[in-house]
Amino acid sequence: MHRFRVRLKNFTTNIHRGAYQNKHGSLWYSSSSKNVQLENEMSTRNIRKLVIANRGEIACRVMKTAKRMGISTVAVYSEPDKHQLHVEVADEAYCIGPAASQLSYLNTENIFNVIRTSGAEAVHPGYGFLSENAEFADACESKGVIFVGPPSSAIRDMGIKSTSKKIMSSAGVPIIEGYHGENQDDSFLLKKAQEIGFPVMIKAVRGGGGKGMRIAETESEFQEQLESARRESKKSFNDDIVLIEKFVERPRHVEVQVFGDSHGNAVYLFERDCSVQRRHQKIIEEAPAPNILEKTQKRMGEAAVRAALAVGYVGAGTVEFVMDPNENFFFMEMNTRLQVEHPVTEMISSTDLVEWQLRVAQGEKIPMNQEQLTCRGHSFEARIYAEDPDNNFMPGAGNLQHLSSLTDIYSDPAVRLETGVRQGDDISPYYDPLMAKLVVWGPDRTSALQKLIQNLDEYSAVGVPTNIRFLKKLATHPEFVKGNVHTGFIEEHDAELFPKALSVDPTTLCKAALAVVLNEQNQNFISPFDLSTGFKVNLPSHQVIPIKVDEVELKVDVVKRNGRNTEYTMNVDGKCFEVSGSLETISGTTWVRSVINGVSNKTKLFFDQTGSKKKIRESDTLTLFLRDGICQILFPLAKFYESFSQTTGSGGSGAIAPMTGTVEKILVSHGDEVSAGQPLAVMIAMKMEHTIRAPHAGVIQTVLFSEGDTVERNSPLFTFKIGDE
In this predicted structure, the answer to whether residue 209 has a pLDDT above a threshold of 50 is yes
* Domain at 252-497, CATH class: alpha beta
In this predicted structure, the answer to whether residue 14 has a pLDDT above a threshold of 70 is no
Does this model's pTM top 0.85? Answer: no
Cβ distance 388 to 632 under 8 Å?
A: no
| Most confidently predicted of 158-172, 305-319, 494-508 | 305-319
Q: Residue 639's pLDDT is what? A: 45
Q: How confident is the model at residue 649 (pLDDT cuts 50, 70, 90)?
A: very low
C-alpha distance from residue 457 to each of 386, 452, 483, 590, 608 (Å): 17, 9, 21, 16, 21
* 446 half-sphere exposure, CB direction, 13 A CA radius: 1
Choice among 479-493, 527-541, 597-611, 686-700 with the minimum mean pLDDT? 527-541
Angle between helices 294-310 and 161-170 (to 10 degrees): 110
In this predicted structure, the answer to whether residue 643 has a pLDDT above a threshold of 80 is no
Q: Residue 523's pLDDT is what? A: 64
CA 416 to the chain's CA centroid: 16
Pick the CATH number of 506-643 from 3.10.129.10, 3.40.50.720, 3.30.700.40, 1.10.10.10: 3.30.700.40
Can you tell me the distance from the alpha carbon of 191 to that of 219, in angstroms, rounded to the nearest whole number? Answer: 10
337 included as an active-site residue: yes
Domain 177-246 has CATH 3.30.1490.20: yes
CA 64 to the chain's CA centroid: 20
The CATH code belonging to domain 654-721 is 2.40.50.100
Annotated catalytic residue: which of 61, 214, 337, 416? 337
Q: pLDDT > 90: what percent of the chain? A: 55
Can you tell me the distance from the alpha carbon of 174 to that of 167, in angstroms, rounded to the nearest whole number? Answer: 11
pLDDT digits (tens, 9 = 90+) for 544-583: 888 877 667 788 999 887 666 688 999 998 899 999 999 9
pLDDT digits (tens, 9 = 90+) for 573-617: 889 999 999 998 887 778 899 999 999 999 988 887 544 333 333
Q: Which residues contact 365 (CB under 8 A, 6 or more apart)?
A: 261, 263, 265
Q: What is the mean pLDDT of the chain?
A: 84
Domain boundaries, the chain: 3-148, 177-246, 252-497, 506-643, 654-721
Q: Domain 3-148, what fold?
A: Rossmann fold (3.40.50)
pLDDT digits (tens, 9 = 90+) for 89-127: 999 999 999 999 999 999 999 999 999 999 999 999 999
In this predicted structure, the answer to whether residue 264 has a pLDDT above a threshold of 50 is yes
Q: Residue 273's pLDDT is what? A: 98
CA dihedral 288, 290, 292, 295 (to 10 degrees): 30
pLDDT digits (tens, 9 = 90+) for 385-431: 999 898 889 888 888 988 988 888 788 999 999 999 999 999 988 89
Q: Residue 615's pLDDT is what? A: 32
Q: Residue 541's pLDDT is what? A: 67
